[in-house]
A and B are shown apart, each in its own frame.
Chain A
Amino acid sequence: MEEEQNNKKNSRRQFLKKGLLAGAVAAAGGGLLQAYSETPGSGEKVKVMTTNGEIMEVDKAMLKLPRVSIEESHQGIPGKKFVMVIDLAKCKNARKCVQACQRAHHLPKSQEFMKVYLLQDSEKTSPYWFPKPCFHCDNPLCVSVCPVGATFKRSDGIVLIDNNRCIGCKFCMTGCPYSTRVFAWKHYSEYDEDKEPYSPEASSPGKEGTVSKCDFCPDLIRVGKVPYCVSACPMGVIYFGDVDEDTVTNGTETFQFSELIRDRAGYRYLEVLGTRPCVYYLPPVERQFPVDRGFNDLDESVKNRYLNTPYAKKHKL
């Protein structure tokens, strides 16, 4: 019994340590991003572009994440149950999470695993920015309806897709009430950037005619790091952690998950649907930014997508 507790403590300490490490990596510039250019000859050092746009040299081995086989990817990481907490008070639609995720998963611009919505629940309530990954539901309809078992729920709570198995019937896309899943309507050139063998844990390289989505980056978790969106966010909006260890971290701050949810009145989106998401939201109270700030520095095409919202129309943004 005592030993068990010790183990638990140890693993919590380990997770915290790893979380902090990830934080350090994030502080150093997000790390692990697109290879910029390879130094000829040596093949050991590569230049990478960080989320801040800076270029730094890192060891090539650091860039390569080990990819587990398809069979292994069906097994969850033992003893873990992952959870994400998104603090709506801090989000200003900086979109670094979207960009980091797209780069890391070799996605074209038109495919977003992480989407940022401008929501307003009703006319008189306040609008807010709403980053939305996959909720990795504990009662996932997408998994139930898949006719070939291409999408599956693991013991650590992660819902993954095996693109080699997926037949592209898109039933899961209609099954998901959160519009989380994306379809490869054609072969995008970005898929070719990834030369590694395919693994469901990396969700890359993408495959034409199949469905994919946010995967909680289990390849990063395996090496003790937090998902790309978490480390890329300059505001520390997104926390990631383990329910059993009761810990979540955004790379710089670490909280006790249950306390955070209790103190900040955390909730799950559309609880009424009964899908039991593993992603929690902290309501947008005592905000750090006015909502309008989210319209700054956006590409025209990105800005346009919010112009039809009731809020943008009312304020003639």
Chain B
Amino acid sequence: MENSEKTMLKEFAPQIERTGIQGYAWIAFLLAVIGLGVYAFIQQVTKGHVVTGMRDNVVWGIYIVNFIFFMGVSYAGALISGTLHLFKTAWRKPIIRMAEFITVISLLIGPGYILLCIGRLDKLHYLVLHGRIQSPITWDVIAISTDIFGCFIFLYLAILRDIANMRDFEELQLPKWRKKLYKIMSLGYTGTEEQKKRLERATDIMATMVIAIAIIVYSVLAWIFSVTLQPGWHSTIFGPYFVIAAVYSGSAVLILAMWFFRKVYHLEQYITKKHFVSVGLIMLVLAAFFGYFTFSDYLTKWYGSEKNDELLIQLLFKEFYWPFIISNYIGVLLPLIVVGIAKFRTIPNITLTAVVVIVALWLNRYLIVVPTLQSPYLPIQDSRTEWSIYSSTWVEWSLTAAGIALFCLLFTLASKFIPIVSIAGNTQEAKPEDVLV
């Protein structure tokens, strides 16, 4: 271990050694929210899916929206950290670990939501036992499990050197089992030239793989919708559109995580305005792409509109007016203005924009899933409003909140296990000329 790394580890030691009263309160709060989710889940299992707002027309509700959303967020690491790693961008160092954690944690939560949509969880193993390759769901099962596997390896390779650092840092005041865990997990890495070379090579390969797998996963997810004949879903642009929307949401979540950890762990020295502006600029470019794809999709639906496309667009501009404006206008224009104009580029402004983008993209997925199911080819003729208009119930909202809480909890625990800023190789501030801006 280099001396500079040691100094840095010393600085991060309190974060790992101790959890303050605030920290415990935070964890207790998250556990309470998750507990509510567990209760809601028990309700759903015992009483049936009737406790949700889903019915025969809108068969998929906010569970699927959350699924798409979390899978999208997992892109923050996959594409952003993968790309930044491959291009050897110098400023990535302090934020890349957050991006990698975002990837793996949201990747663990996302698929959980699709399980909530499944009527017979007791037969889930049939997906493997009787799997049929014709079905896009089978593609999804293969793609997501490959993605989880690949992203775990990528994350592990990325934190390996720091695990070894933790093992070698004797001043660290931790229980014995934790020290032992570091020892086991470091796989005997001591930082010999040979090991360094191999690790670097493996990381390069995995960074490339993770980018490719992530594109496939998100396209497959989009195809679940676009292979059907439903108005609004049956679109060739959906694959790339979903990919762009995913990276876009990932960049916003990364900014939010940067802001949060900078505040809580006082990382002002490591995560500077430069980082916010750099990731902000990535977000800006993605906003432009996202706006372009959205525009293309709706323009073609509106211009030469078939009857059902017309009905769908009417619905979007009537019943879903505000969500539509927030997701497809504000969600596109705000980053262009705030990050695009130099004098607006402050840390609070960029963070606030990121929050708006996150909300906008969640709504964007809602607008993809729900209105289409509410305007099928055969008009819905039902006297029961809950069967024709989707309205999510407390069960669905509790489980949504539980997912977000679980995300925060796992992130918090991860930051207690290993410094949230990569220490190995991060011993000096990136030189200004390395930075994009």
A175–B228 Cα distance when bound, in Å, is: 5
Question: With A183-B119, A185-B55, A209-B48 in contact, do A145 and B228 touch (Cβ < 8 Å)?
Answer: yes
Question: With A167-B124, A175-B228, A209-B49 in contact, do A145 and B137 touch (Cβ < 8 Å)?
Answer: yes
User: Are A118 and B381 in touch, CB under 8 angstroms?
Assistant: yes
Scoring B55, B377, B380 by chain A CB atoms within 10 A of each residue's CB, the highest score goes to B377
| A-B residue pairs, 7 tightest by C-beta | A168-B119, A209-B119, A186-B48, A304-B383, A147-B137, A147-B135, A185-B50
> How would you classify the secondary structure of chain A's contact residues: helix, strand, loop or mixed?
loop
Q: Which residues of A contact B49 (CB under 8 A)?
A: 183, 185-186, 209
Q: Which residues of B contact A273 (CB under 8 A)?
A: 229, 377
A71–B228 Cα distance when bound, in Å, is: 29
Q: Which of B132, B137, B381, B383 contacts A309 (CB 8 A)?
A: B381
> How would you classify the secondary structure of chain B's contact residues: helix, strand, loop or mixed?
loop
User: Are A165 and B48 in touch, CB under 8 angstroms?
Assistant: no
Contact residues, A152-180 vs B (CB, 8 A): 165-171, 173-175, 177-179
- Tell me how far the C-beta of A112 lies from the nearest C-beta in chain B, rounded to whole angstroms: 9
User: Are B377 and A178 in touch, CB under 8 angstroms?
Assistant: yes
Q: Which residues of B contact A35 (CB under 8 A)?
A: none
B residues lining the A interface (CB < 8 Å): 47-50, 54-57, 59-60, 117-120, 123-124, 126-127, 129-132, 134-138, 141, 224-225, 227-230, 233, 373, 376-384
A48–B188 Cα distance when bound, in Å, is: 79
A residues lining the B interface (CB < 8 Å): 110, 115, 117-119, 132, 141, 144-149, 165-171, 173-175, 177-179, 181-187, 207-211, 270, 273, 275, 301-306, 308-309
Q: Which of A119, A182, A187, A305 contacts B56 (CB 8 A)?
A: A182
User: Are B132 and A146 in touch, CB under 8 angstroms?
Assistant: yes
Q: Which of A117, A119, A175, A210 contacts B119 (CB 8 A)?
A: A210
Q: Taking CB as reference atom, which chain A residue is nearest B225?
A: A174
A179–B230 Cα distance when bound, in Å, is: 10
Q: Which of A132, A167, A211, A301 contacts B127 (CB 8 A)?
A: A167
- Tell me how far the C-beta of A163 lies from the nearest C-beta in chain B, rounded to whole angstroms: 9
User: Are B378 and A117 in touch, CB under 8 angstroms?
Assistant: yes
A199–B136 Cα distance when bound, in Å, is: 27
- Tell me how far the C-beta of A186 lies from the nearest C-beta in chain B, rounded to whole angstroms: 3
User: Are B47 and A186 in touch, CB under 8 angstroms?
Assistant: yes
Q: Which residues of B contact A147 (CB under 8 A)?
A: 127, 131-132, 135, 137-138, 141
